[in-house]
Structure 1
Amino acid sequence: MEQRRWDDDERFTGVGDASAMRPAVQDLAAVMARDGWVTEDPDAHLLPHLRAVPGWRVVAERLVEGGVYEVAAHPDEPLEGIEAHRAAIRLLAAIAEPSFFVRQCGPDTFECVTGVLPGDPPGYATHGHLVRLVITP
């Protein structure tokens, strides 16, 4: 099994663990488990922001089981590898709230949780969105 973390990694280990930010991640996970935390009507709240991002065209959207807003988007220019990953995050950043998590879960698929935790600015009630972005060829 490959131990390298990137192409020229010779160290094979990092400088520490991620404990410093674990409480914030745990807080996000805790509010995600609250019934009713995912907001309604993503077509009104999210879609206009996604459609306004230069370099992308939203080609389909639908609300699927569990409140996941599935969005298919086509980039104006071909994207591969890390550039596709970074471009997907730039697109999703258009809907980012104080807490924002993105995970690439397939070659062309990204899952995103974004929301407001208790006490986050600008003082809205805690709520969030689940988005699955599928980059179309």
Structure 2
Amino acid sequence: MRARWEDDETGRGLGDAKWLVPGASDLLAAFQEPLWVAEQPEDHLLPHVERWCQDDGRLAVRTTSTDDHTFVLDLEWRGEPTSVGHARAAVFALIGSFAESVTYVRQHRMLSEGSLRFEIGTGELAPDTRFQPHGHTVVINVTGVV
């Protein structure tokens, strides 16, 4: 049996998460809309990121760029030496500063680079928005954690 975490004695779960499929499917459908990703993420997202980083102090913006409609943030960990879990919590708090009503996040450990990479899709979906449905794709690279 392959353990799922330390002290895992069963190697299996208790059930499924099917009740989340309709909402996740709505986001997946939005991701496939040809013009769903909004323009100018540096104007819409960067001020939130910079303000959060300045107020919190654990992460600092090194560089930003836009690559194929994806806003790329290269950040440096400036907090105390910590675990990946603590760094993840900080990045999730940062994401919360710009996240819209529906958000997808996936973390990757970039062991060869000694960094963490977070892929984010966030946006507004009908009927839960007063605006036209739209979204942003963001990649956050964090160095200095692992």
Taking structure 2 as the reference length, the TM-score comes to 0.86
State the 1:97 CA deviation.
0.5
TM-superposed deviation, 1:76: 2.3
In the TM superposition, 1:1-137 aligns within 5 A as 3-53=2-52, 54-55=56-57, 56-65=59-68, 67-77=69-79, 78-107=81-110, 108-121=116-129, 123-137=130-144
Matched residue count: 134
What letter corresponds to residue 125 of structure 1 in structure 2? Q
Unaligned runs of 5+ in 1: none
TM-aligned CA deviation for residue 69 of structure 1? 0.7
Aligned residue type for 1:86: A
The gaps in structure 2 that reach 5 residues or longer are 111-115
Tell me the CA shift for residue 4 of structure 1: 1.2
Please list every run of at least 4 consecutive aligned residues from structure 1 whose deviation after the TM superposition is greater than 4 angstroms: none
Percent identical: 33
Compute the RMSD of aligned alpha carbons: 1.3
Q: TM-score, normalised by structure 1?
A: 0.91
Q: How many angstroms does 1:73 deviate by?
A: 1.2
Equivalents in 2 of 1:125, 1:106: separation in Å? 35
CA–CA separation in structure 2 for the residues paired with 1:13 and 1:124 = 42
In structure 2, distance between residues paired with 1:91 and 1:19: 28
SS of equivalent residue, structure 2 residue 16 = coil
Amino acid at match of 1:136: T
Distance 1:7 1:64 in 2: 38
